[in-house]
Amino acid sequence: MAEQGLPELFDALRWRWKPAALIALCIFVGAFLYIQKLPSKYDAKAVVAISPRADVPAAGADTVRVGAPKFVALAEAPKTAARIGALTGLSRQTLEKAVNASVPVDTGNVSITVRLENPSKAANVANLYANDVIDFSKNDPLLTGELVAAAVPPTTPAAPPRRLLEAAALIVGVLVGVGVSLLLERGRPRLRSWRGIARMTGYPVVGRVPSARALRTRPTEAFSDPVTGSAFRTLRANIEPQLRDEKVGVLLVTSASKSDGKTTVAAALAEALGRVGMNVLLVDADLKRPRVARLVGMNGQIGLPEVLRGKVSLARAVQPGWTNQVSVLPATADVDGGDLIAQHFGDVIQEARKRFDLVVIDAPPLLGTDDARTMAPIADGVLLVVSAGSIANPVNEAILALESLKAPLLGIIGNRLKEARGFYY
């Protein structure tokens, strides 16, 4: 992902936010419950002031500054911990971890802080340490100690820092979630945007069809929606030069897998081409899952299978479409469709070329069936429909199949893209 830049990185996170959020939530909840179970610890603090003895005129501030650290060493000494432990019932190891003594800079105050789970016991231990320091100072020839602030039981815990730990857990959860999501995206990449489709396939995206209710409910009314109509007019404008310059009379629309919306795209594209005066025939050549008749609301009992079997003529099977300049050759499912396509489809299309300006074939998916591979070499141009969210590997496999067949792939049509509506004029 790093070499693809920040836009692609953010695009991947945009589509993988659900697993990232789930992982982050699980880590945060687990850490939160663990943090709540941690015992609270309280800090009790006693302060002993170290000063020069009154009967030693030579002792002064420098004497205090030099001599005060030995009282800190006394407070933190293992022997002191053992001695205080015998009085309180706490182990030496516990007290060594609990006690912290220090002398602030340029002062003679020895601060003794004791951190324990019981606030009363923490205050008691801190005062015992302070008294021990004072007793030790009685034998010092230069300095003396005086308790200036006795420890009192604290009311609020000093540790653990729950809010800080919870914030850290949240940050770690988010980072782990993002990392796992990016690994998922890299391990099983999906084509989310038209940029990703173009980069992954190496072919131009000639059409960017948005996700629109008009296409899901009634594709024949696609042009009633300004955004959808604009998308298919743009698709028409992009392929018109190829249709004209390369004399494309048969255009095959297919996809890598099922449910990519190829039938809807083929029907709307046929209407878009018919709107500029072309006499277009839309052929439902998917004899396993024919859908054109149902989409356009016509009777498909007589159609392509009957023409392939020689039972009816092409002229009789073709029906007027839902709009001017568009005719439809419907179909029904046929168990022998693969054999019929291989034997007679080329002849049917050759006849259709003579009767129509352009033949748009709604072909089956390229993967999982041999029908589309049989039809592709017959066509003058192929358009591959790729739905947003498609896994990249099947799409690449479909493109390799077309290239091995030497089928003229004119470009990719991105379907159900989440384009901003402001993109369309």
> Tokens 């009957």 sit at which residue?
306
163 found inside a domain: no
Can you give the CATH number for the domain in which 124 is found? 3.30.70.1130
Compute the Cα dihedral for 384, 388, 391, 392 and give only its sign.
Answer: positive
347 found inside a domain: yes
Residues across the chain: 425
Whether the CB-CB separation of 177 and 383 falls below 8 Å is answered with: no
Is the same domain home to 34 and 55? no
Q: How many domains does the chain divide into?
A: 3
Consecutive H or E run containing 296: helix 292-296
Is the same domain home to 26 and 61? no
Alpha helices in 138-261 (DSSP H): 162-187, 194-201, 213-217, 226-245
What is the overall mean pLDDT for the chain? 89
pLDDT for residue 405: 92
pLDDT for residue 7: 60
Residues paired with residue 48 on neighbouring β-strands, in sequence order? 110, 147
pLDDT for residue 2: 43
Is the same domain home to 273 and 398? yes
For 176, list phi and psi in degrees, rounded to 5: -65, -45
User: Which tens digits make up the pLDDT trace of 197-225?
Assistant: 998 889 999 999 988 776 766 777 888 88
pLDDT for residue 297: 83
Q: Which residues of 109-131 are buried (b: 16+ CB within 10 A; e: fewer)?
A: bbbbbbbbeebebbbbbbbbbbb
66 found inside a domain: yes
Is the same domain home to 285 and 355? yes
Is the same domain home to 54 and 31? no
pLDDT for residue 9: 62
pTM of the model: 0.65
| Whole-number Å distance between alpha carbons of 383 and 251 | 7
> Tokens 């038209």 sit at which residue?
194
Is the same domain home to 19 and 103? no
User: Which tens digits make up the pLDDT trace of 148-162?
Assistant: 999 999 999 999 999
419 found inside a domain: yes
Residue 19 identity (one-letter amino acid): P
| Whole-number Å distance between alpha carbons of 253 and 338 | 18
Domain housing 103: 42-149
| Whole-number Å distance between alpha carbons of 159 and 315 | 87
- Counting as low any pLDDT under 50, the low residues of the chain are 1-3
Instruction: Report CA 372 to chain centroid distance, whole Å.
Output: 34
Whether the CB-CB separation of 267 and 219 falls below 8 Å is answered with: yes
